[in-house]
A and B are shown apart, each in its own frame.
Chain A
């Protein structure tokens, strides 16, 4: 790979990786806010109002971070990957346009009413605005995941005058991996938001154990996480089987299977060796991978050798997958322990509260790891079987890319630091009823 491709990928990866943090929180937090707002509308309880107001601030901050980094994305499609739009613009374009039209304006406009209009509109209108914001974030996820899934498992496209066009929009949007990926992402967002709510509430309770609002939100976050975590594991498994069917090269990288053979072992841990095409220090369960993926200990699985040279790098996909699953399992255990520890209005031990605080952003780590699995596992393709990443890169010079990459890194590092500081500060003060 030449330098420009590496820099373009690093820059785009940095931007989208930074961006994804905030939607992955706000998609579900929008619905949680709506729940707080409806609770207040039904009960008239000032504690619910204070809770709603505190979490509105967290939402507004996260939403602003998402908006500004999202604007960057809309430009980088063109600046970094002009080949992408030239080749598949007839499919990617309408999907992105529908996202702007049906989601961005809706959420941005009603967010203004939701944040600043509580005393200016009737109560039902305010609840309606909160609902529109939640719907907007979810619709936005629908379109962008339709596009991402289509890039992973393209279907429904045709060719007219040497151009790729959509033959059947229904199968473009509902392409083979879309239902699984969309559900997987929504659940990831639910878990991310649940842990942020629980973690920041735990942080508050460490300082003020009697805070009624923080106790309510701790319980809300934990119950939500406890319900969603097992669902996510089940959906993740289905998603994996779908990937085996449509992107077997990605599965080969995830499981570090180098050679196509029967009765493939499940590699628990190893250091994949890209040069020798083998695993160092491997700890394996014999025939495990065949059993899990094909439900038959003797079944044949395709290895990297079946796809080379168009195969993804193994080590990053292998490790990112294990990070995602590992954190997911820890989140499940912690959520269930937390639900038990908060039964009948109990206050958890300080040790558990500290652990929950430490896990505030665990959802982010898992989401990023999962995203690395999905996107690196697709390489060298940008659109599987249709367009290679190297063929889509732009003509920007290495110097321009390097300079702008530096600018982005400095800006993002500053923004993320400020975000974390403000969030912990807000949570530490708690909701004021």
Chain B
């Protein structure tokens, strides 16, 4: 039996991107929420993501790395077309990455400046990623409507990351900050609802391919399970946050789990819209794939390394389980 290597690698790439979006999403979201908290709370917020952000961003390198090595032709086309938003994202990621380290060591207005850059970098990176998604899914078509659509996706993704960040804080903090985070989560959820709804409606209108894929009765009926499940996850998060606000017994991890479910479902919808294109309407994964010999070598590495990667990632999350404590480098 021969393995469909391009298919395997598009699955791996999707997995890496989803891992990135969920994992870096929560720490970018926490970054965007910084201005809404007082300075003591800010320390806790940074402490809650400090041990993780580095490894979280590595998933981005893996995702773009798979695009680069498995679909080199598409990598050039996609990143060439997204040149400026990519640069904006990179500058945002750089600013927030170093702000992590600098803000701890700075004092007075320097510290304020780094806090501000931490927020700005988180926001810039998130918004740029949304722009990239909006441009990517419409096949880089130019025109006012397409750019407006990309801006919209940018804003929606920021809302989504805020939701992830807020639910992460619900999990990792307690008391006053947790209460605040409950409010932020609901607020983020509204943005997500708006964003997901608009994207779901606009994407089929913007792209014939996507339209044909979703509106093909009777398949459409089965496909409607996806938006319904997303809606259910949203309602679930809303209700869980409400119960916690009223002080009813509720595990602190359920809102985060619900937010992750929303992302996974929305991601599945996007993947369904795109597949099998790696460049929308232009290039399929089989057309873009590199030579099977190099794919096999990489796959062998993935199969060997992945269990270790999962094991030590689980180990790190276990070490830092429970509520975040202030005081870095303890």
Contacts and interface: CB of A to CB of B under 8 A. Distances in A.
Given A75-B79, A120-B320, A93 B298 contact: yes
Nearest to A92: B69
Contacts of A419: 98
Given A79-B80, A96-B69, A396-B80, A408 B301 contact: no
A102 to B, nearest CB: 6
A109 B316 contact: yes
B35 interface: no
- Counting contact residues on chain B (CB < 8 A from A), the size range is 35 or more
B70 A71 contact: no
A109 B313 contact: yes
Given A404-B84, A418-B102, A108 B54 contact: yes
Contacts of B58: 100, 104-105, 108
Contacts of B328: 115-116
Interface in A412-430: 415, 418-419, 422, 425-426
B64 interface: yes
A400 B82 CA distance: 11
A64 B118 CA distance: 14
A53 B329 contact: yes
B276 interface: no
Contacts of A85: 68-69, 72, 75-76
Given A86-B72, A411-B91, A64 B330 contact: no
Given A78-B75, A115-B50, A120-B319, A57 B329 contact: yes
A422 B106 contact: yes
A90 B98 contact: no
A392 B321 CA distance: 47
Interface string A46-59: 00000001001100
Contacts of B298: 93-94, 97-98
Contacts of A70: 61
Interface stretch (B158-166, B187-195, B264-272, B288-296): B288-296
B244 interface: no
B69 A89 contact: yes
Interface in B247-296: 290-291, 293-294
Given A61-B101, A105-B55, A97 B301 contact: yes
Contacts of A169: 297
B305 A101 contact: yes
B43 interface: no
B80 A160 contact: no
Given A64-B98, A112-B55, A93 B70 contact: yes
A422 B102 contact: yes
Contacts of B26: none
B83 interface: yes
Contacts, number: 207
Consensus secondary structure, chain B interface: helix
B94 interface: yes
Nearest to B79: A78
Given A82-B80, A112-B54, A407-B87, A415 B313 contact: no
Contacts of B79: 75, 78-79
A273 interface: no
Contacts of B95: 411
Contacts of A68: 93-94, 97-98
Interface of A: 53, 56-57, 60-61, 63-65, 67-72, 74-75, 77-79, 82-83, 85-86, 89-94, 96-98, 100-102, 104-106, 108-113, 115-121, 160-161, 163, 165-166, 169, 394-396, 400, 403-404, 407-408, 411, 415, 418-419, 422, 425-426
Interface of B: 47, 50-52, 54-55, 57-58, 60-62, 64-70, 72-73, 75-80, 83-84, 86-87, 90-91, 93-95, 97-98, 100-102, 105-106, 290-291, 293-294, 297-298, 301-302, 305, 309, 312-313, 315-316, 319-320, 328-330
Given A63-B54, A108-B58, A166-B294, 19 more contacts: A74-B68, A78-B64, A79-B79, A82-B77, A85-B69, A89-B68, A90-B294, A91-B294, A93-B70, A97-B65, A101-B301, A105-B313, A108-B54, A111-B54, A112-B320, A116-B50, A160-B293, A396-B83, A411-B91
23 contacts: A64-B101, A68-B93, A68-B98, A74-B61, A78-B76, A79-B80, A79-B86, A89-B72, A89-B290, A90-B291, A93-B290, A113-B315, A116-B47, A117-B51, A120-B319, A120-B320, A163-B291, A396-B83, A403-B84, A407-B87, A408-B91, A411-B95, A418-B102
The 5 A-B pairs with the shortest beta carbon distances in the complex, nearest first, are: A93-B69, A82-B76, A112-B51, A89-B72, A85-B72
